Amino acid sequence: MSGINSSTVLWYMSRSTGVVSLVLLTAVVLIGLLITQQGRLPGLPRFAVTGLHRNLSLLAVAFVAIHVLAAVADSYVSIPLTATVIPFASGYERFWLGLGAAAADLMAAMIVTSLLRRHLSRRVWRGVHLLAYVSWPVALAHSIGSSTDLQHGWALYLATGCAVVVTAAVVWRLAAAARAVPRAERVTALMSARRRPGSRPGSGRDLTGAGTR
């Protein structure tokens, strides 16, 4: 492996921001899953968890942008700018870079709908946001497939770890959804759980006395 110099700096930049992006996006997905269950992080109120989800996702977008632009600007391989937006339009690593472009497009859709959330119905926003379940695995496949970095050593453990925690979180999310009580039955369920021997009218002058209750 050669050192970093002016001709390889873009190449290294692209690779490293790619790895960081993967970690950030994994964190965003995990916190997003936590939010769907009204979960909390230690020491943070719920609105801060939502804020963290939002800010981490914007940070991830910044890293993805650097990752993409550095790859395009690097002259070692030729990737046309259009190939970063249109999937499978690149001559170099057509399939794996195509996955990356597809994941980025899905991310862009989620970001745009979230920024415009005020003006959209909940259904539309949610429908688009569910694309995270597609976008993240595609991004992971892209990062493993398009470079040899993640195929061995500590980076392989990192990628495997990301895949394991996200899978576990999704399983936890689905299990919770299966257990969820339908809205109309929630209150009745809670009420019957805390039902006490209720009071009755005219229970007499002596509430504790035998025969009056």
What is the binding site for other proteins (CB under 8 A)?
Answer: 38, 182-188, 190-191, 194-208
Q: CA-CA distance, 199 to 202, in Å (whole number)?
A: 9
Distances (CA, A) of 35 to 30, 38, 46, 119: 9, 5, 8, 22
Angle, in degrees to the nearest 10, between helices 9-36 and 132-145: 150
Pick between residue 119 and residue 152 the one whose CB is nearest to other proteins.
119
Least distance from other proteins to the Cβ atom of residue 38, Å:
7
Pick between residue 151 and residue 188 the one whose CB is nearest to other proteins.
188
Residue 153 tokens read as 């050593």
Pick between residue 75 and residue 208 the one whose CB is nearest to other proteins.
208
Least distance from other proteins to the Cβ atom of residue 37, Å:
12
Q: Tokens 């009420």 label which residue?
A: 191
Least distance from other proteins to the Cβ atom of residue 208, Å:
4
Q: Which of 15, 32, 9 is nearest to 142 (CA)?
A: 15
Residue 58 tokens read as 């914007």
Pick between residue 37 and residue 78 the one whose CB is nearest to other proteins.
37
Q: CA-CA distance, 194 to 205, in Å (whole number)?
A: 27
* Other CB atoms within 10 Å distance of the CB of residue 137: 17
Contact 87, 98 (CB under 8 A): yes
Contact 143, 18 (CB under 8 A): yes
Pick between residue 3 and residue 197 the one whose CB is nearest to other proteins.
197
Least distance from other proteins to the Cβ atom of residue 202, Å:
4
Least distance from other proteins to the Cβ atom of residue 31, Å:
19
Least distance from other proteins to the Cβ atom of residue 156, Å:
42
Pick between residue 171 and residue 180 the one whose CB is nearest to other proteins.
180
